[in-house]
């Protein structure tokens, strides 16, 4: 009984603020400051407002999707190769490479902003997707290499030997034997990389000045009136729910994999 109560407390702690966002998003504009635990009557007014008029929130969601998917595909393509070498090949300087990749993941994003903003201004990259995708590699790539290395290490060591005996080249062994078996780990890593880029804020805020290129997280943060008094809280909450819902669905469907991916690096 005590255990169930404690578990209940944990769930309430995690869900209460999120629940409040959902409830507030379903209130009518006039009821927004009510504190009843559920909306009465419920209304989709705020959701209509999100997609109406000049805000063009659909475009922002599409931008987020393009940037996140682009970063995910790019980092996985590079990261799979690197992680495979780190986990399953022996070579000199392996710890150095591992240390370098880990070291880059410790970089505060703010430091990257200054030179990249300058560089991208010169290149004319401001307000483009690649101005968001390329810098996003700075956090997504170490994350991908780190997680994938852990997955590759778990696979039995005899796989490549067997493949080579059967006449596969090194590349063939990697592509035909290792990759198919590693698919679940690759998929998990893709989810984590996608989450990380979907949630990214600082780069998208800095490299984009045109409203129609903004990603959803940046757009939501800029919804609003001139002062605290006319902030459209209901619309903000609805937009927040919309940005979060795809992630919540992914979490519910793939929770076991996500947990495995998050913890794979932390456990040795």
The minimum distance between CB 114 and other proteins, in angstroms, equals 5
Furthest-apart CA atoms within the chain: distance in Å: 73
User: Which one, 96 or 183, has the nearer CB to other proteins?
Assistant: 96
Find out whether 147 and 265 touch, Cβ atoms under 8 Å: yes
Which strand (E) or helix (H) includes residue 58? helix 57-88
User: Which one, 52 or 231, has the nearer CB to other proteins?
Assistant: 231
User: Which one, 39 or 109, has the nearer CB to other proteins?
Assistant: 109
The minimum distance between CB 32 and other proteins, in angstroms, equals 9
The minimum distance between CB 131 and other proteins, in angstroms, equals 12
Find out whether 111 and 192 touch, Cβ atoms under 8 Å: no
How far apart, in Å, are the Cα atoms of 158 and each of 86, 97, 172, 178, 268?
16, 24, 15, 11, 21
Nearest to 208 by CA among 141, 113, 115, 103: 113
Distance between the two ends of the chain, CA-based, in angstroms?
A: 34
Cα–Cα distance, 130 to 160 (Å, whole number): 36
The minimum distance between CB 12 and other proteins, in angstroms, equals 9
The minimum distance between CB 103 and other proteins, in angstroms, equals 9
User: Which one, 124 or 227, has the nearer CB to other proteins?
Assistant: 227
Contact residues for 223 (Cβ-Cβ < 8 A; gap 6+)? 55, 232, 235, 236, 239
User: Which one, 52 or 263, has the nearer CB to other proteins?
Assistant: 263
The pair of structure tokens assigned to 85 is 């070498």
User: Which one, 102 or 162, has the nearer CB to other proteins?
Assistant: 102
The minimum distance between CB 212 and other proteins, in angstroms, equals 19
């Amino acid at each position: 009984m005590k255990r169930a109560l404690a578990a209940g407390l944990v769930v309430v702690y995690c869900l209460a603020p999120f629940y409040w966002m959902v409830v507030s998003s379903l209130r009518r504009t006039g009821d927004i400051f009510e504190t009843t635990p559920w909306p009465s009557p419920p209304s989709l007014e705020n959701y209509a407002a999100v997609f109406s008029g000049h805000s063009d929130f659909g475009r922002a969601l599409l931008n987020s999707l393009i940037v996140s998917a682009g970063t995910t595909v790019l980092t996985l393509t590079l990261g799979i190769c690197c992680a495979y070498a780190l986990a399953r090949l022996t070579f000199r300087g392996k710890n150095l490479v591992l240390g370098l990749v880990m070291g880059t993941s410790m970089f505060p994003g703010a430091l990257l902003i200054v030179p990249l903003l300058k560089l991208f201004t010169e290149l004319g990259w401001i307000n483009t997707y690649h101005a968001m995708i390329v810098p996003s590699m700075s956090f997504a790539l170490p994350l991908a290499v780190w997680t994938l290395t852990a997955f590759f290490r778990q696979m039995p060591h005899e796989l490549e030997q067997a493949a080579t005996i059967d006449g596969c080249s090194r590349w063939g062994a990697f592509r035909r034997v290792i990759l198919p078996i590693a698919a679940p780990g690759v998929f998990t890593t893709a989810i984590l990389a996608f989450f990380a880029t979907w949630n990214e804020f600082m780069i998208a805020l800095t490299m984009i000045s045109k409203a129609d290129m903004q990603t959803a997280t940046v757009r939501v943060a800029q919804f609003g009136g001139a002062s605290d008094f006319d902030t459209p809280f209901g619309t903000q909450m609805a937009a927040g729910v919309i940005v979060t819902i795809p992630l919540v669905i992914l979490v519910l469907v793939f929770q076991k994999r996500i947990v495995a991916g998050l913890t794979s690096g932390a456990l040795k």
